[in-house]
Amino acid sequence: MRLHREGTPTILLILALTGFALFAAWSWAPAWLAWVVTVAMLAVLGIVLWFFRVPARTVTVDDNAVLSPCDGKVVAIEEVHEPEHFRDQRVQVSIFMSPLNVHINFNPIGGTTTYYKYHPGKYLVAWHPKSSTENERSTVVVEHPRHGEVLFRQIAGALARRIVTYSREGRPAAQGAEFGFIKFGSRVDVFLPKGARIAVRIGDRVQGSTSVIARFEP
């Protein structure tokens, strides 16, 4: 299993804490307590390693498809007013990532990055109605040469405390390639033109860089 580079500081910290806890437990604690500490710390280490795993994915580039930007569950599909960049009506598809999902974020379409902005903010639970406008978040817009612009927004959750975004204005964006990472539970919103045909339903489980969430007319 390959691990993501964003996990290096956290993994090193957990390894250090695990080593210290095991040394202390087996040096001074009763055997039964030492075993409890050992099992608990190894479980924590296993969860952290699982969280920062890099999945083996094969991306099939499709100019008429919008791929899921992350692993998770579709929690919202609705027409909304997008106030930051488009300032008009768009179809929003929201995907919630639990702490057990892969937390790498992928470009849903290919093209050129035309907009990027980081917003500091609160840490409301990711499904809170105001999380998309009040939480820590990063907004990225990629313009496809035929289908126009699609906006996607990384939103921090109650546990997330760091959003990483690699996208920058003017740079090319390859469909299915990594554009960022969110640590420990969060959400990604995708804002599509009203003419896009939605290919998922609320409650569907999707996989980043492979599941198709919408299609454009060819």
CB hemisphere CA count around 58 (13 angstroms): 0
pLDDT for residue 128:
56
Please state at what angle helix 31-51 crosses helix 8-28, rounded to 10 degrees. Answer: 170
Query: What share of the chain in percent tops pLDDT 70?
Result: 91
What does the pLDDT average to over 81-99?
Answer: 93
Residue 207's closest CA among 100, 108, 69, 94?
A: 69
Domain count, the chain: 2
pLDDT at 117 over 80: yes
Q: Which of 68, 186, 209, 211 is catalytic?
A: 186
Asked about 27 being catalytic, the answer comes back as: no
Q: Which amino acid is residue 35, in one-letter code?
A: W
- Statement: residue 126 has pLDDT above 60: no
Structural domain including 41 reads: 5-51
pTM equals 0.88
Q: Is the pLDDT of residue 20 over 80?
A: yes
Are 70 and 172 in a shared domain? yes
Is the residue at 208 inside a domain? yes
pLDDT band at 127 (very low <50, low <70, confident <90, very high): low
Task: State whether 44 and 152 are in the same domain.
Answer: no
Enumerate the β-bridge partners of residue 180.
105, 165
CA distance 86 to 151: 9
Question: Do residues 196 and 105 share a domain?
Answer: yes
Indicate whether 59 belongs to any domain. no
Question: What does DSSP assign to residue 175?
Answer: T
Question: Are residues 210 and 155 both part of a single domain?
Answer: yes
Instruction: Please report, for the domain that includes residue 152, its CATH number.
Output: 2.70.70
Query: Mean pLDDT lowest for which of 125-134, 161-170, 180-189?
Result: 125-134
27-66 burial code (b ≥16 CB/10 A, e <16)? eeeeeeebeebeeebeeeeeebbebbeeeeeeeeeeebbb
List pLDDT tens digits, range 172-213: 999 999 999 988 768 899 999 988 999 999 999 999 999 999
Distances (CA, A) of 71 to 45, 48, 74, 93: 22, 17, 10, 13
Residue pair 107/166 in contact by the 8 Å Cβ criterion: no
